[in-house]
Every structure is written in C-alpha cells, then in structure tokens.
Amino acid sequence: MHAEAFLIDLDGVMYVGGTAIPGARGAIRFLEEQGYPFRFVSNTTRKSRETLAGQLEGMGFSIPETHIFTPAAAAAAYLSRNHRKSAMLLTTAEVAVEIMASAGIVQHPDTAESVVVGDAGDRFTYGELNDAFRRLLEGAELIALEKDRYWMGTDGMMLSAGPFVAALEYATGGEALVMGKPSPAFFLQALASMGAEPATAVMIGDDVVTDVGGAVSCGLSGILVRTGKFREEMLARAPHPPAAILDSIADLPRHLQSLRG
Ligand SMILES: [Mg+2]
C-alpha cells in the first residue's frame, strides 16, 4: 500500500452522532506534523458544508471548508455546469439552500429539469416522493446525492438516501446519477485538489462498499475502520476488501509507522 495522501470519511470515522472518535484528533495532528496531504470526503447530505465545518470546529478539529467534499457541493457544480435552471430538491432545507445558492437554480415543481434526492429525513413523505416520481415521468433527470443504505445515528442505525432513491428507480425503471461516493468523479476531484494521484492515495472509511469499494475501483487503497456503521457481515461479503482494517482512526499513526518499518 502506497500511502502518500489521504481521503478521510467524516461520519463514523471522525465522529459518531456528534461526538469525536477518541484519538481522531491525534491522528489528524500526526498527518499534519508528518506533512501528509489529506481531504475529507463525506456522503453526509443532511448538512451543508458550512455546518459540517462548524460542527468539526466544535469537536476541536480546525478544517477549512475547502478541504471538505460533499455530494451537495458536487451536485451544485454539476447543475451549474449543465446549465440547469430549476430543480426539485428532496433534501433537508439547509442543503436545498446551499445547492440553490451555489448552482444559481430555483425550486419549481412544474419546470424542474432535475430531481435531486439527498438524506431528507422526515421530509421523505409519500406526497414528496410521489411529486418526485411524477416529475421523473415528465422527463426530469434523477440525481442522487448518495445511495448509502444507512448510517449510525445517536440512538442507532438510520436509513440514508439510498432506499428512497431505489424506490424512485424501481418506480420509473430508470437509474440515478450518483454524485457522492462511490462515484469516481467525486474521489478524483478531491485528489486533484491536493495534486495527488489515485495509485499513491488511501481512502479511510467505515463503509466497506461506498468508501473502500468505491476507492479501490478508482485505483486507491482502502482502509476500513471498525467504528461508525462498521458491520462484520458486510466485510465478509465485500467485493473489494480493504488493504487494512483498523479498530479506529486512532490507530492510523501506528499503522503508517509499521508500513515505513
Ligand atoms: Mg461514514
């Protein structure tokens, strides 16, 4: 495993349910002191990049917004690049505001060219999903901020956007364009921002499919941590096994030192 640059997942790796993983701060400090470049690639779609940076600050991590890559930011860039003017945003209110502001689009139920689905939480009602279904039948494109199945919340596992995206795909027979992990464009954009190459970069995540599998398909190495949503049975079924498994990101310094011998 060549480890010269790092992509690091946030939820489940740096924190769980708003609490920092013990030792995460030390691991980040180690990367900084050793001069390893790194970026954060999150599939979190309930919160804006600004909120995520503020939340990290509150946990004692000083991470500039520009070092955090989110599906919402990728979707805004996509909508803007493709000259979309209106969209239906089935997301939390703050993510809808972030996408509209950075993509320069409006929400209009009758003219939406794109239906953007993130982890909308309690906004996933029959009415909203059915409105989205009808827009798709009218020819709108389906954009999934992410298709994760679940994440680890404060009091247990939580459904992510994936099951709802799958419902719309099933109903329409179409396939969503996925913005976040495991989309290769998402990993490559984060690597390019620090001038890193896939062959010498490592993705660290708690999801063996979207984090590790996505990164490995893209030419990176994957490190899986046993925190967050980690489940032993998912690891056993993984088509792309990780190069290393750590109990948590706290073990990263020791692991890198062992690689260097
Ligand atoms: Mg995660």
Closest CA relative to residue 43, chosen from 261, 215, 237: 215
The reply to whether domains 5-69+181-260 and 71-178 share a CATH topology is: yes
CA distance linking residue 45 with residue 47, whole number of Å: 6
Ligand 1 midpoint to CA 254 (Å): 22
Identity of residue 73:
A
Per CATH, the number for 71-178 is 3.40.50.1000
Could you tell me where the DSSP H helices lie in 5-63? 24-34, 49-58
How is the chain split into domains, by residue range? Answer: 5-69+181-260, 71-178
Cα 56 to averaged position of ligand 1 atoms, centre (Å):
15
CA of 138 to the centre of ligand 1 (A): 34
**pLDDT tens digit string along 187-226?**
999 999 999 999 999 999 999 999 999 999 999 999 999 9
Task: Give 78's Cβ-side CA count (13 Å radius).
Answer: 24
Top-level class of domain 5-69+181-260: alpha beta
How many angstroms separate the alpha carbon of residue 112 from the centre of ligand 1?
31
CA–centroid distance, 211 to ligand 1, in Å, is: 8
For residues 46-80, one letter each, b for 16 or more C-beta atoms within 10 angstroms of the residue's C-beta and e for the rest, the string is: bbbbeebbebbeeeebebeeebbbbbbbbbbebbe
The residue assigned the tokens 């030419």 is: 219
Task: Say how many Å lie between the CA of residue 4 and the centre of ligand 1.
Answer: 22
- pTM for the model stands at 0.90
Distance 101 CA to ligand 1 centre (A): 26
Pairwise CA distance, residues 60 & 140, whole Å: 42
CA 29-34-38 angle, to 5 degrees, is 70
Dump pLDDT digits (tens) for 149-193. Answer: 999 888 999 999 999 999 999 999 999 999 999 999 999 999 999
Instruction: Return d(Cα 230, Cα 226) in angstroms, integer.
Output: 5
